Amino acid sequence: MKIAVLYYSQTGNTKRMAEEIICGMNKVEGVQAKAFSIDDADKAWIDESAGIVVGSPTYAGNLAGVVKVWLESAAGNYDLSGKLAGAFATENYVHGGADLGMLTILQHLIFAGMMAYSSGCAKGDPVIHLGPVALGGSLDDFRETFRIYGERFAAQTKKVFG
């Protein structure tokens, strides 16, 4: 079962955290997860994926415009309907706007017919509200949460579509 993690990253933080998510996802037996920059997305892989997670840096308290542009055309360009959707973000400051960015990502993916999943409080610690968030100055502190999120998202994808 394939899963795609898509991200935009100008200075590497969001890319790095996408890789942590992939690491957690690939712990789940039968799951093959790959990360792609949205500039270089593998259409065949995305179309074959049962789950899709989109990540963005936080810009001016919301997602990066490049990601929004991608999301605006994604529903028409990719086979997204009925799949599991997730979001993640990086930011430099606590309450810097990552939540709004993730909400916007999830709104677009729901609009494309996807089903949103974050694991929320249902799996206990760490509680992951809309999706995992990492602070740019201390990415290492968030590695484990991103890996756990990846593992939970992949397990849920397998549960729903396996």
Ligand X SMILES: Cc1cc2nc3c(=O)[nH]c(=O)nc-3n(C[C@H](O)[C@H](O)[C@H](O)COP(=O)(O)O)c2cc1C
Site of interaction with ligand X (CB under 6 A): 9-15, 57-61, 90-93, 96-97, 136
Residue closer to ligand X by CB (options 41, 115) is 41
What DSSP assignment string belongs to 74-108?
HHHHS--TTSEEEEEEEESSTTSSHHHHHHHHHHH
Q: For residues 24 and 147, is the Cβ–Cβ distance under 8 A? A: yes
* Cα 112 from Cα 140, distance rounded (Å): 33
Coil, strand or helix at 135: strand
Residue closer to ligand X by CB (options 86, 157) is 86
Nearest residue to the partner ligand X, using Cβ: 96
Residue closer to ligand X by CB (options 15, 143) is 15
Residue closer to ligand X by CB (options 33, 63) is 63
Least Å distance, CB 8 to ligand X, is: 7
Least Å distance, CB 110 to ligand X, is: 23
User: Which residues of the chain form beta strands (DSSP E)?
Assistant: 2-7, 32-37, 49-59, 62-63, 84-91, 115-116, 133-135
Coil, strand or helix at 137: helix
Least Å distance, CB 45 to ligand X, is: 21
The closest alpha carbon to 22, from 150, 139, 113, belongs to 150
Least Å distance, CB 162 to ligand X, is: 31
Residue closer to ligand X by CB (options 109, 133) is 133
